[in-house]
Homo-oligomer: A and B are copies of this chain.
Amino acid sequence: MKLVESVPNFSEGRRENIVREILSEAEKYSKVKILDWSMDFDHNRSVVTLVGEPEDIEHAVFDMTKKAVELIDLRDHKGEHPRMGAVDVIPFIPVMNTEMKECIEMSKRIGKRIGSELNIPVYLYEKSATSPERENLANIRKGEFEGFFDKIKDPKWAPDYGPNEVHPTAGVVAVGAREYLIAFNVNLGTTNIEIANKIARAVRHISGGFRYVKAIGVELKEKGMVQVSMNLTNYKKSPIFRVFETIKREAQRYGVPVINSEIIGMIPLKAAINTMMWYLQLDDFDENRIIENKILNTFFE
């Protein structure tokens, strides 16, 4: 069985009935699972997390997009979060037995359909980007909905699919593929924030650390601890265990113990199995050796 996640962001975070109508488009697919959805009033935005087989996810997300375009009018939209479309961004993320390449293909197929069937300009971003300046979503979104009526006239910002004209009510949309992001925090037995900052600098990419790690030091005043707070943007290439072991070693340098750590939200089974395999020195093991996963596979046979 193959599993892909998608986390479409919709520019509606106040009227629950509208968000529910969009969700119901996904619920029509019996094999698509809505893992999570949330509305934010201040951002006026909702975020939905869906998981399922690639084809089902692709169809469900297209149907949700179509419904959102019917129901959301960006001309009336105000909120704190920057946005450029009724459907603002659609990422596809490989979860199980799926290659990044397949998620890129999914993003291109759905992008093409959104362009031609819904008349919305589509920008491919991250792994799907067609030029380096389109990799970063913030770059694409700069100027937001209101600014895009001008921005789109710049040949540098011609859309990858769809018309060369902003959709009057739905704006434009970014579609792309990216790796699963794991939020991982390590708590240190000290109140000295400088030590957390130093360790964060040691492990994060920007200052010479692991390529797929973003990290900052954070004070946890109530707990009397400091934290190395991280996003692992590619757990296959900069894995949890290696980052954790490096943090432990760096903390030793300062005579500081690691008290505990936290994984925020959900993770793919593979991330847990890779961690077990490394620590137990297992050379020959994989997710199919987990009873529950074997059973899950039978439902997708």
Contact = CB atoms under 8 A, between A and B. Distances in A.
A294 B296 CA distance: 10
A291 B95 contact: yes
Q: Chain A binding site: helix, strand, loop or mixed by DSSP?
A: mixed
Interface stretch (A76-84, A115-123, A277-285): A277-285
A292 B292 contact: yes
Interface string A275-301: 110011111110101111111101100
Contact of A279 (B52, B279, B292): B279
A262 interface: yes
Interface of A: 3, 5, 33, 35, 51-52, 95-96, 240-241, 244, 258-263, 265-269, 272-273, 275-276, 279-285, 287, 289-296, 298-299
Contact of A3 (B95, B240, B291): B291
Given A289-B267, A290-B269, A280 B240 contact: yes
B263 A282 contact: yes
Given A35-B294, A298-B33, A262 B279 contact: no
B269 A279 contact: no
18 contacts: A33-B295, A33-B298, A35-B294, A51-B295, A240-B280, A244-B279, A260-B281, A260-B283, A263-B282, A263-B285, A266-B291, A268-B292, A269-B269, A272-B272, A276-B276, A292-B296, A293-B296, A299-B299
Given A276-B275, A296-B296, A291 B261 contact: no
B261 A289 contact: no
